[in-house]
Amino acid sequence: METALFDYLLPQHLIAQEAIEPRDAARLMVVPLPSGRPLHQQVKDLPSLLRRGDLVVLNHTKVFPARLAARKPTGGEVEVLLIHREESAEAGERWRALVRGRVRVGTALAIGDEVATVRELHQDGSRSLAFSERCDVLALSERVGRVPLPPYIARPDRPQDRQRYQTIFADSPGSVAAPTAGLHLTDEVLSQLAASGIDFARVDLAIGPGTFKPVDTPTIEEYRIHAERCSCPAETVAAVQRCRARGGRVIAIGTTSARTLESAAAQPGGFAPYSGWTSLYLHPPQRLAVVDGLLTNFHLPRSSLLMLVSCLVGRERLLDLYAQAIAHDYRFFSYGDAMLLLPDDPAARTPH
């Protein structure tokens, strides 16, 4: 299938630059599956849209202030974006990072009161940085780092972004981008869901900068997606099985929750606990094995996230829904509004 078929034109003014307050005031396009006209509501209405016996799956990853200012021995300044910690035999922590600016292997970069040495340059342009044995890199980032806002938010980060570009349930540091569907959820919404007899389960996928990368091959099948570390614990597998047994629907909050569940299901033995790297790339005509419904933001043209959502709703219908969202002035991308893909019957699937 041609990648160009996942393109659409978005007016610049619909790219959300600020988060809406309160969180659950975001608009919500409710899309019945496998067919039906969408409804226009708000995220605060979610408890009335789900039903007793459903299971909501949340990605508990936490965004850390991964953008760091660094200085070379020459005095020149560069910017470091930490991606993930690497396995290393060295005494100190070693991190994969993107560096904006020219640095060679062996260059020592001053970051706050610490020093990181460039150990390796990789084919994808990233670098491996070695920190001293006494350096706690996550603690360093909390002291001197900045929030890694997406490239389409055309403003510097602000102190309030540390709280707002973060879900209220985040407790597992490791992401350089937020699981944006979860940004809309409030304590009140979660409490109302629980009071309505809806269960919760957790997964963890540490989101890397590759999430913003468009599919850049002529066809979607040629693309090789970025790898990210994820975990789906035994308790979540059991919760999904209980949900299935009672006829409930598995509702993933965000594409990262969906990708983690589907990665656990893609193992040779079928759906089971999983912890490790995933390069699972979901696109039409594939169908999802675990996820019935999905709360998700509106995604970039030609993105792998757009293709994942198409597995639930179909490409043509999804692009039509996006056109309707544009006509109704929905706000797009990370700080934007949301869409809820919701089947009445857990077995309902959209033909592609």
Q: What is the CA radius of gyration of the chain?
A: 20
pLDDT of residue 345: 81
195 & 271 share domain: yes
| Dihedral sign computed on CA atoms, order 32, 36, 41, 45 | negative
Helix (H) or strand (E) holding 57: strand 55-59
What are the structure tokens assigned to 106, written together?
């062996």
326 & 187 share domain: yes
- pLDDT tens for 319-352 read 999 999 999 999 999 999 999 999 998 766 444 4
How do beta strands 61-63 and 172-175 pair? parallel
Q: What is the share, in percent, of the chain residues with pLDDT greater than 90?
A: 96
Please state the rounded mean pLDDT for residues 293-303: 98
The tally of domains found in the chain comes to 2
Query: Comparing 272 with 346, which gets the higher pLDDT?
Result: 272
d(CA 17, CA 302): 21
pLDDT of residue 352: 41
pLDDT of residue 351: 41
Please state the rounded mean pLDDT for residues 163-176: 98
Residue linked to tokens 């630059």: 17
247 & 317 share domain: yes
pLDDT of residue 350: 46
CATH of the domain at 242: 3.40.1780.10
Provide the residue range defining the domain that includes 107.
67-144
Q: How far is CA 51 from the centre of its chain?
A: 25
CATH of the domain at 90: 2.40.10.240
**N- to C-terminal Cα separation, the chain:** 12
272 & 289 share domain: yes
255 & 178 share domain: yes
144, 179, 208 — which closes off a domain? 144
| Maximum alpha-carbon separation in the chain | 65
59 & 79 share domain: no
- 124 occurs within a structural domain: yes
- 149 occurs within a structural domain: no
34 & 56 share domain: yes
Say what angle helices 304-313 and 315-327 make with each other, to 10 degrees.
Answer: 110
86 & 54 share domain: no
- pLDDT tens for 12-45 read 999 999 999 999 999 999 999 999 999 999 999 9
Three-state SS at 269: coil
Please state the rounded mean pLDDT for residues 211-237: 96
Residue from 144, 154, 183, 120 nearest 64 by CA: 144
pLDDT of residue 16: 98
Please state the rounded mean pLDDT for residues 126-135: 96
Residue from 35, 17, 148 nearest 82 by CA: 148
Indicate the average pLDDT of the chain. 96
71 & 56 share domain: no
- 236 occurs within a structural domain: yes
- 56 occurs within a structural domain: yes
d(CA 126, CA 69): 16
Q: How far is CA 130 from the centre of its chain?
A: 27
pLDDT at 160 > cutoff 90: yes
- 25 occurs within a structural domain: yes
- 350 occurs within a structural domain: no
pLDDT of residue 348: 61
282 & 260 share domain: yes
- pLDDT tens for 131-145 read 999 999 999 999 999
Please state the rounded mean pLDDT for residues 69-76: 96
93 & 18 share domain: no
* HSE of 96, CA atoms in CB hemisphere, 13 A: 17
pLDDT of residue 88: 85
- pLDDT tens for 79-91 read 999 999 999 888 8
Residue 342 amino acid letter: L
What are the structure tokens assigned to 39, written together?
């409804």
The pTM is what?
0.96
